């Protein structure tokens, strides 16, 4: 499963504590499981759309069902892309979305290839600050001037004792506030380091890449494990 495949229903339970008193590093990623209805308000149907970190492709499939005719999904997880391609073959709508294996940190698309891009949870799965900057800049590069970007990511939740401990422990380990190991709840393995955002950090990441934010909102996401997580969504325009 793609690390960016983990959320989207709204509502759920609070994070649980595993291994006694030690807080779990909670996997909380807003993902393309289902298309949020408001997304259609910001994506013109006549333009080429790319979903960066598409996972198993549900957002792309839903876009095609809603009349979008030039849809591409990219994810580095080969198994997720294979599942997306199989699901696309069962679609009645045409044309089918295109699913590609690729690294969103270094995309192979030419400049200005798309009129709109979607990033739902991919930035949350990047534990290195430099990688997050590179992804935002790549999104800017492949969008046409005036192109639209829809972003949904997890916000820092200092009000919750479990998350607060994760942030403090993660800061001592990584030197960056908001970054912490995301544990496999069954094996205890750490498949990746997650990062939760402050509003300022989220906004500055997009602005620094050349985007103008035209809509910002706090949201409530639920992880695939049923845990509630606060998040932020933004619609931004390629302003340069």
Domain parsing of the chain, residue ranges: 39-155+196-238
* CATH architecture of the domain with range 39-155+196-238: 3-Layer(aba) Sandwich (3.40)
Query: Which range, of 18-22, 34-38, 109-113, 125-129, averages the lowest pLDDT?
Result: 18-22
The Cα-based distances of 49 to 27, 109, 154 in angstroms read: 27, 13, 23
pLDDT digits (tens, 9 = 90+) for 30-58: 444 567 777 888 888 889 999 999 999 99
Report residue 225 as tokens. 């494990």
Report H helices in 32-178.
Answer: 39-42, 58-65, 78-89, 129-142, 161-174
pLDDT digits (tens, 9 = 90+) for 166-225: 999 999 999 999 999 887 767 767 678 899 999 999 999 999 999 999 999 998 887 666
Query: What is residue 82's DSSP assignment?
Result: H
Residue 221 has a pLDDT of: 84
Q: Is the pLDDT confidence value at 26 over 90?
A: no
Q: Do the beta carbons of residue 31 and residue 5 sit within 8 Å?
A: yes
């Amino acid at each position: 499963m793609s690390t960016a495949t983990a959320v989207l229903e709204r509502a759920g339970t609070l994070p649980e504590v595993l291994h006694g008193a030690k807080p779990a590093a909670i996997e909380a990623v807003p993902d393309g499981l289902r298309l949020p209805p408001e997304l259609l308000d910001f994506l013109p149907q006549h333009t080429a759309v790319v979903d960066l970190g598409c996972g198993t492709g549900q957002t792309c499939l839903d876009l095609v069902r809603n009349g979008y005719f030039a849809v591409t999904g990219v994810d580095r997880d080969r198994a997720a892309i294979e599942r997306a391609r199989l699901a696309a073959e069962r679609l009645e709508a045409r044309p089918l979305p295109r699913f590609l294996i690729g690294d969103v940190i270094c995309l192979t698309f030419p400049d200005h290839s798309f009129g709109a891009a979607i990033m739902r949870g991919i930035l949350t799965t990047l534990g290195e600050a430099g990688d997050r900057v590179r992804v935002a800049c790549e999104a800017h590069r492949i969008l046409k001037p005036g192109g639209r970007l829809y972003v949904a990511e997890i916000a820092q939740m200092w009000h919750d004792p479990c998350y607060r401990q994760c942030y403090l422990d993660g800061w001592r380990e990584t030197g960056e506030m908001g970054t912490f190991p995301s544990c496999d709840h069954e094996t205890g393995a750490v498949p990746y380091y997650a990062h939760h955002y402050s509003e300022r950090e989220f906004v500055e990441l997009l602005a620094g890449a050349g985007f103008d934010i035209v809509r910002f909102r706090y949201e409530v996401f639920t992880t695939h494990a049923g845990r509630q997580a606060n998040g932020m969504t933004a619609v931004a325009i390629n302003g340069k």
